[in-house]
Structures are given as C-alpha cells and as structure tokens.
Amino acid sequence: MKITLEMWRTFVATAEQGSTIKAAEYLCKSQSAVVHSLKKMESLLNQPLFQVQGRQSQLTLAGEQLLVQARALLARAESLEIKATDSALAQRQDIALAVDVLLPPAYWLPRLAQFSAEMPQVSVQIYESALSGAAQLLEQGLVAVAIASQLPHDILSEPLLAVRKHCVCGLSHPLASAGQLTDSDLKQHCQIVLRDSGSANRDSGWLAAQQRLTLDSAALAQQAVEAGVGFAWLPEYLITGQMQRLTLAAGNEREVALYIGLNPELAHLTAVARLYELLTQTLPAE
C-alpha cells in the first residue's frame, strides 16, 4: 500500500493545527480517523512523524523534513484540480450571466458577441433580473457573473456604470399634457413597476401611487406605458417616441449605480475571467 493524497492532507493538517483533535475539526473527520491515518502513514514510512506532548502533536525531525515536501505535493494536486475544473467547464460549454434590466443591451451585447467569437466552444445563459434577483443568483452559485445595483458584500465586485431613469407615460395618458407635477399628482394615477426577480421582495423606490401594475419583464413595462396604462420610471434605452417625459417638481431623473460581481469559486476559470474582463473594459466604439 502507498501513501495516499488524503494521508498527506491529514499529516499537513495535524502539523498545522497542532493536534489530532483540531485536525479532525478542520478536516471534518473523527479524531479516530485522523489518528488511524497518521499511524498507517508512520507504518508505511517505518518511522514516527509526531510525538505527543500533553494534548499537542509535535513533529519529529523526520516529520519536519517531510512537511515542506508534503505542502508542495498538495499545492501541485490543487493546481491540477483547478486545471481539471477548467477543462470540465470547456467540455460542458456553459456559463451563466445575470444582467439587471436597467443595463442597456447595447452595453453588454457587443461584449458578448466578442466573447462568442473568441470562445465558440462556450455557450452563455443570460438571466434577466430585477432588483435583488442577480445577487440571489450569484449567492446560490447559479451564475458566474452578475450585474445589478446591489450585490453580496462578500464577493468580488466593482462599479460598472450609472444608468439614468426617467419618469414617463404614454402620449395618450392624462399626465402627458400636464405641466410640472408633484408627488401628489402622480399618486392619482397607476404606476407601472417591475417585480423583484429575487426572493428579497425589494422595491425600486417611489411606490406611493394608490394603484400599481406589477410586471415581470421590462419589455412588458415598456408596452404598458406606450398603451397609456400608467406612468413608470424607465431607463433611457426603454423610452420610445410613443412616450412623454414628465416634468417633476422633485426632479425628472434618477441615477442608479450598477455593479459587476464575480462568483469567487469560478474566478480562476479562463472563460469566466475573459467574460468578466470584456464586460468591464471599454470597447473601441465607445
């Protein structure tokens, strides 16, 4: 029988943790399993690796000499696992990206086209999200990259861009012919809002209207506004010639900062890293 990689892991963990009890906790094993592994390893090497002093496990001279090589062996094994994971992704040919509805398609579609040209073996799934949806997908590990106004604090993220929203209504809507409007004026009409695609049930801000129409898609919100159903705060790219920008006493625009976040467990993968890079860089046409 040869010394297995798991035995080396147990040896290193015991040396670094200082006792078999702490090593067992670190490795999520029983203490007896750790002791058995070390005894088996010492038997195969025909020399003791630890000497017990009280509750502490101290390395012998032979153990100290093996520790450096053991750490190097485990590092090489970990590197091999990472490469194997990267290879598995290429075989699976699938990456998931969560994009907030506020982000203009004109921003991310050209970057996605470039990514597809560079990596034709990788397919991309796009999740259209609103409010807390992208953050939830990222936390659940369902996407590699997410773009949203709010992302989990414990993941790698950075500011991407700011999106301006305008208060608009359809040309046939009563508000279209009004002058400067107050919040009290808006409260009398139906407000069109997007449903939070996550489970946090967040709202997008001003929701004081007595009547609301809540929709699941930005495209439906756009059509509802054009049809004169109500007013809405929409990003610039969704505003059409069939809409009227409203003049509000409290200000006609809102600015929402969008951030891009990366799943830390997938950050080392070549395809994921390249997609993240393309989404954060400025293209020549911009």
pLDDT reported for residue 54: 82
pLDDT at 263 over 70: yes
Both structure tokens of 113: 């086209």
Query: For the chain, which domains are there?
Result: 5-90 (1.10.10.10), 93-160+258-280 (3.40.190.10), 162-255 (3.40.190.290)
% of residues, the chain, pLDDT over 70: 92
**Helix or strand (DSSP H, E) at 86:** helix 61-92
pLDDT reported for residue 78: 85
pLDDT reported for residue 235: 96
Q: Mean pLDDT across the stretch 252-273? A: 91
**Helix or strand (DSSP H, E) at 156:** strand 156-170
pLDDT reported for residue 252: 82
pLDDT in tens, 71-104: 988 888 888 877 776 666 555 568 999 999 999 9
Closest CA to 171 of 81, 224, 266, 241: 241
Q: What is the pTM of this model?
A: 0.65
pLDDT range class, residue 13, cuts 50, 70, 90: very high
pLDDT reported for residue 36: 93
pLDDT range class, residue 153, cuts 50, 70, 90: confident
Q: What is the largest CA-CA distance in the chain?
A: 92
Residues near 170 by beta carbon (within 8 Å), at least 6 away in sequence = 176, 225, 226, 227, 228, 229, 242, 243, 244
pLDDT at 158 over 90: yes
Task: Map 5-43 to HEC letters.
Answer: HHHHHHHHHHHHHCCHHHHHHHHCCCHHHHHHHHHHHHH
pLDDT in tens, 41-82: 999 999 999 998 888 999 999 999 999 899 988 888 888 877
pLDDT in tens, 203-215: 665 666 789 999 9
| Torsion angle (degrees, nearest 10) of CA 197, 113, 238, 194 | 0
pLDDT range class, residue 189, cuts 50, 70, 90: very high
Sort 241 into a burial class: Cβ within 10 Å, 0-12 / 13-18 / 19+: exposed
pLDDT reported for residue 284: 62
CA distance 173 to 189: 10
Q: Mean pLDDT in the chain? A: 89
